[in-house]
Amino acid sequence: MKNFLKKLDKEWNLKVCAIIVFSLIFLVLSKYHSFSWDTYLLNSLVFYFVLPILVILFIFRDKLKDYGIRVGDWKTSLKWIGIFTGIMVAITLLSLLFPSIVDYYGRNYNLSAYLLKLLRYGVYLIGWEFLFRGFMLFGLEKRFGKSAIFIVLIPFVLLHFGKPEVETLGTILSGVVLGWIALKGRNFWSAWLLHFLTGVLMYGFANFLV
């Protein structure tokens, strides 16, 4: 049996297959099973954060730090987060030229509602970013190297369907940037922070500048 599994692993790379299959299962479960209380937050935290962690610890028997749950190279992370956030200021301002962006993000929030939205959005993104830039990206990196960024890009872009077209097209580039910065800093938190700051800009500009 052990020899059979070794041969199978050599031919198929069982961990790569498991990471992809588990990720698809988590995405499907989050689509068809919603929590009755605060679906927005709980679906992300449970299906995209807690369940992948359980798989890492009890099925793969790996360390969480190998999947980006670590400080990593925080100086490099902060440097690139600062650079890309500056770029995102310009891109976000240009995006306000598209009525679909303003309609989607401009919800007429007052300041307290805006801050509450950002708090919930930040927590929500922890699960979202860990599934893509933690569990999938670092899990697939050992087999595919930096090309894993583009494998993760497929579900990441598809899950933006329903948002404005210009934003969904933009996620092709932003997904590459988020994956690159996660690998550069050796943690998924850098991708989470950059993604969160982008949301801060989008909701802020659409609500308070337009």
Contacts of 84 (CB under 8 A, 6+ apart): 177, 181, 194
Where are the chain's structural domains?
A: 2-208
Q: Is 94 exposed, middle or buried (0-12, 13-18, 19+ CB in 10 A)?
A: exposed
Closest CA to 194 of 147, 129, 134, 105: 129
Q: How many Cα atoms within 13 Å fall on the side-chain side of residue 180?
A: 9
What was the pLDDT predicted at 37?
Answer: 84
Residue 9 pLDDT greater than 80, yes or no: no
Residue 6 pLDDT greater than 80, yes or no: no
What was the pLDDT predicted at 210?
Answer: 82
pLDDT in tens, 50-68: 999 999 999 999 999 999 9
What was the pLDDT predicted at 5?
Answer: 67
Q: Can you name the residues that pair with 163 across neighbouring β-strands?
A: 161
Interval 70-96 mean pLDDT: 97
Interval 31-43 mean pLDDT: 90
- The full length of the chain comes to 210
pLDDT in tens, 181-200: 999 999 999 999 999 999 99
Q: Could you tell me what percent of the chain has a pLDDT over 70?
A: 100
Mean pLDDT of the chain: 95
